[in-house]
Structure 1
Amino acid sequence: MTSRNLVKLFWNTLLVGGITTAIVGLFVRWHELQPFFADFKIIDIISAIVWLIVMGFLFSVISQMGFFAYLTIHRFGLGIFKSVSLWNAVQVVLILFGLFDLVYLRYSNFAKSGDPLLPFLVPALLLAVVSLVVAWLKSKETNRDAFIPALFFMIVVTLVEWVPVLRINSSSWLYTMVIALLACNAYQILVLHKLNAKSEQERQQKKIQNANKAPERQKKKVKKSTV
């Protein structure tokens, strides 16, 4: 990927994180922000929205760190296991293990006696459904082999990025962060192959331009030597 497209990816992902967090945060934390809107406190409203956008930028940076870390891990995995099918099998095991831990660990740490399991299943179901849709879109736009890696990235890497909020039992922050992370991760994984293709086109165009300029430079050298 060219540096220009890399910078474009960074800023676009940052924007996705900021906008998503602001929108989701207004809905999820409406019980806290409603008095500002009811009393029409413009300064407080703007401050709350700006704060949510800044938090979205932070979530976006975490997402991008996880994305580039996964690209490295994926290459290492292919190199270690020497087989795409074997590496995919390992990723499937880790996906199932991650989803199980998401439900089990949160239930065992935060559930009180008699609490139903369903509220602890919802985040895992949300993560799984969104990830399956994104992985399907990725495989549809590229090839079948991209399904498992995309699913692994969307589930396992998102879980790792989600850890700071998973350690606390705050439903508002839980959903605000995971939706922002899913939006950023989905954007990155779905746009990656497009940016790579665009970068390759830019390189080819640059080569053609350099090739066309070569005869002109040669003519200038000949003229200087004759003078």
Structure 2
Amino acid sequence: MSLRKWARLFWKTMLVGAVAAVVAGLALQLATGNIAFKGAVDMLIYPLILLGYGALVSVYSQLGFFAYLTLNYIGIGVFRRKTWGYIQIVLTVLALMELMFLRTFVGNEQNLVWDLTIAISIFVVAAFVSYFKVKMTNINALIPTMFFMLAVTILEIIGVLKIGENNATVFLIIPLLACNAYQILMLHKVTQEEKKS
């Protein structure tokens, strides 16, 4: 991947994160009304703050994406492809179990329903993204896409889950999932273009 193509992916991912954060922030404000605006200026500045927040989340997402690419490269180099696939499946299941059950039963968190809702939502999004990735490429993309969309996303949201604020969790997850989905869906196009040139 050339620097120019990486920069294009970077800016497009940042745009995806910004738009997703604006949509999530405005939807949460309409649903909960947690923020009391003092005037018209506050109402105009709020979407700009959301844009900036979404851009920051996209950078966080891209850090996770490149960490995943590095891990995948090392995993393929150390293990046979089939073995690395099994390792990714096990790690994905462990990440889901951590989110759904271990936080409640081992970590003494008291929000099992909320954790299950988040885990199921992330799983559904991961399944959709994996389906489209397989349609765009081949069946070999299924396990890596599911691993990235589930295990890496869950790893990225663990910090916000410790806060225990549901709105903050939703506010992070929506742009993060959008950025992660965009990056994994665009990866093969960027690398194919690189091979063609």
Q: Provide the aligned length of Structure 1 versus Structure 2.
A: 193
- The residue correspondences of 1:128-207 to structure 2 (distance < 5 A) are 128-201=123-196, 203=197
2:43 corresponding residue in structure 1: 45
One-letter amino acid matched to 1:110: E
Equivalent residue for 1:98, pick from 95, 98, 107: 95
Aligned pair 1:68/2:66, yes or no? yes
After TM superposition, give the deviation of residue 47 of structure 1 in Å.
2.0
One-letter amino acid matched to 1:78: I
Greater radius of gyration (CA): 1
- The residue correspondences of 1:69-88 to structure 2 (distance < 5 A) are 69-81=67-79, 83-88=80-85
1:110 corresponding residue in structure 2: 109
Structure 1 gaps of 5+ residues are 204-227
1:211 corresponding residue in structure 2: none
Q: Are 1:29 and 1:172, in contact at CA under 8 Å, matched by a contact in 2? A: no
- The residue correspondences of 1:188-227 to structure 2 (distance < 5 A) are 188-201=183-196, 203=197
Give me the TM-score of the superposition, normalised by structure 1: 0.80
Distance 1:161 1:134 in 2: 18
| Aligned sequence identity (%) | 39
* Off by >3 Å, runs of 4+ in structure 1: none
Distance 1:107 1:55 in 2: 29
Find the residue that maps to 1:32 and give its secondary structure.
Answer: coil
| C-alpha RMSD of matched pairs (Å) | 1.6
Q: Are 2:95 and 2:155, in contact at CA under 8 Å, matched by a contact in 1? A: no
Distance 2:3 2:70 in 1: 18
Distance 2:115 2:95 in 1: 14
Structure 2 gaps of 5+ residues are none
Find the residue that maps to 2:34 and give its secondary structure.
Answer: helix
Q: Deviations over 1:126-159 (max 9, x none)?
A: 0111001111111111111110001000111111
